[in-house]
Amino acid sequence: MKLVILDRDGTINHERDDYIKSADEWVPLPGALEAIARLNHAGWHVVVATNQSGIGRGLFDMVALNAMHARMNQLLARHGGRVEAVFFCPHTPEDQCTCRKPLPGLFKMIGQRFGVSLAGVPMVGDLPRDVLAAQSVGCEPHLVRTGQAASMSETELIDLRQQVSDLTIHPDLSSFADFLILRDRRAHGEDSPVATHMGELT
């Protein structure tokens, strides 16, 4: 089973300083939905692992969160894509749970749900806590320079690489998808060109 784990806010959709609280506020990043669809078409099962402390803070409820994800899947369907499942942590840092990234709880739930080892499973996010959580369960860590990572300095990136030695950094989710698909094709001896998110062939 080809499984890939994606962060949500800042990776798939725009972030907000005051939290995304409704489906109307859930706005995809350019090219992100197309990237997920390309991964699906290449045989990848896409799941999301996301911290949603807005629930614990009383900013929105489960009805609103479900509406956000219904909108995400409706928009994805237009591109022929889908997310298999969304795993979320509703807690605040003060709750001292085990599922809030960078802790590994969400990832362990994913492994249990799908009955797979997470060793080598690609995971991508826009925050150090995403890649630290990925590393803690043996996932292959990837960072996209969208969301909060867009403002990370070179010094911060160097520090993160020292903590996560096998980290791969991409401009955005489209570039990550292209990287994964092309690497998979090459691993299977397929040398045919791959259409990337810019429409060119590589």
Catalytic residue, candidates 7, 126, 130, 178: 7
CA distance 22 to 67: 7
17 assigned to active site: no
61 assigned to active site: no
Catalytic residue, candidates 9, 126, 130, 172: 9
In DSSP notation, the chain reads: --EEEE--BTTTB---TT---SGGG--BPTTHHHHHHHHHHTTPEEEEEEE-HHHHTTS--HHHHHHHHHHHHHHHHTTT---SEEEEE---GGG--SSSTTSSHHHHHHHHHHT---TT-EEEESSHHHHHHHHHTT-EEEEESSGGGGG--HHHHHHHHHHSTT-EEESSHHHHHHHHHHHHHHHTT--S--B-TTS-B-
Catalytic (active-site) positions:
7, 9
